[in-house]
Structure 1
Amino acid sequence: MPSVLFFVLFLSSLHFSSSQRYNSLFNFGDSMSDTGNVQIATLPYGMTYFRNATGRCSDGRLVIDFIAQELGFPLLPPSQEDHDFSRGANFAVVAATTLGFEFFNERNLSRGLWVNASLHLQVDRFEKLMPSICGAPQECKDFLSKSLFIVGEFGGNDYSTALFFAVPIDEVSTFVPHVIKTLKDGVERLIQLGAVDLIVPGVLPVGCFPLYLTNYPTTNPEDYGPKTGCARRYNALSWLHNTLLRRALDELRRKYPSVSIRYADYYSQIIDIALNPLKYGFTAGALRTCCGNGDGPYNYDQTKRCAEKDYTVCSNVSTHVNWDGIHMTEAAHRVIATGWLHGPYINPPILRSGQR
Structure 2
Amino acid sequence: MATINTNIVTTITITLIMTICITPSFQQQQQPNGRAFTTIYAFGDSFTDTGNTESSSGPNAFTHVSSPPYGRTFFHHPTNRYSDGRLVIDFVAQSLNLPFLPPYRNKKSNMSHGTNFAVAGATSIKHSFFVKNNMTLNLTPQSLGTELRWFNEFLESKGCKDLKNTPKECEAVFKDALIWAGEIGANDYAYSLGSSIPGTMIQQLAVKSVAGFLQVTIL
TM-score using structure 2 length:
0.73
Q: Flag the structure with larger Rg.
A: 1
Which residue in 2 is equivalent to 1:115? 140
Q: 2:30 aligns with which of 18, 23, 27?
A: 18
**Partner SS for 2:124:** coil
Bigger mean CA deviation after superposition, 171-180 or 118-127: 171-180
Q: 1:130 aligns with which of 135, 148, 155?
A: 155
8 A contact 1:96–1:115 mirrored in 2: yes
- What is the alpha-carbon distance in structure 1 between the residues aligned to residue 71 and residue 156 of structure 2? 33
Which residue in 2 is equivalent to 1:160? 190
Which residue in 1 is equivalent to 2:217? 190
- What is the alpha-carbon distance in structure 1 between the residues aligned to residue 100 and residue 27 of structure 2? 20
- One-letter code of the match for 2:49? D
Which residue in 2 is equivalent to 1:32? 47
Taking the TM superposition and a 5 Å limit, the aligned residue runs for 1:133-282 are 133=158, 137-143=166-172, 144-163=174-193, 166-167=194-195, 171-191=198-218, 256=219
- What is the alpha-carbon distance in structure 2 between the residues aligned to residue 16 and residue 155 of structure 1? 30
TM-aligned CA deviation for residue 141 of structure 1: 3.6
**Bigger helix share:** 1
**Partner SS for 2:180:** strand
TM-aligned CA deviation for residue 162 of structure 1: 1.4
8 A contact 2:70–2:77 mirrored in 1: yes
Offset from partner CA, 1:273-321 (integer Å, 9 cap, x none)? xxxxxxxxxxxxxxxxxxxxxxxxxxxxxxxxxxxxxxxxxxxxxxxxx
TM-aligned CA deviation for residue 15 of structure 1: 6.3
Bigger relative contact order (CA 8 A; separation at least 6): 2
8 A contact 1:98–1:118 mirrored in 2: yes
TM-aligned CA deviation for residue 175 of structure 1: 0.7
TM-aligned CA deviation for residue 145 of structure 1: 4.4
TM-aligned CA deviation for residue 131 of structure 1: 3.6
**Partner SS for 2:204:** helix
TM-aligned CA deviation for residue 84 of structure 1: 2.3
Gaps of 5+ in 2: 1-25, 55-61
Gaps of 5+ in 1: 1-13, 192-255, 257-356
8 A contact 2:49–2:103 mirrored in 1: yes
Aligned CA distance change for structure 1 residues 17 and 118 (closer, same or farther; 3 Å): closer
**Partner SS for 1:175:** helix
TM-score using structure 1 length:
0.46
TM-aligned CA deviation for residue 154 of structure 1: 1.0
Q: Determine what percentage of the aligned residue pairs are the same residue.
A: 32
8 A contact 1:31–1:92 mirrored in 2: yes
8 A contact 1:86–1:134 mirrored in 2: no
- What is the alpha-carbon distance in structure 2 between the residues aligned to residue 57 and residue 162 of structure 1? 22
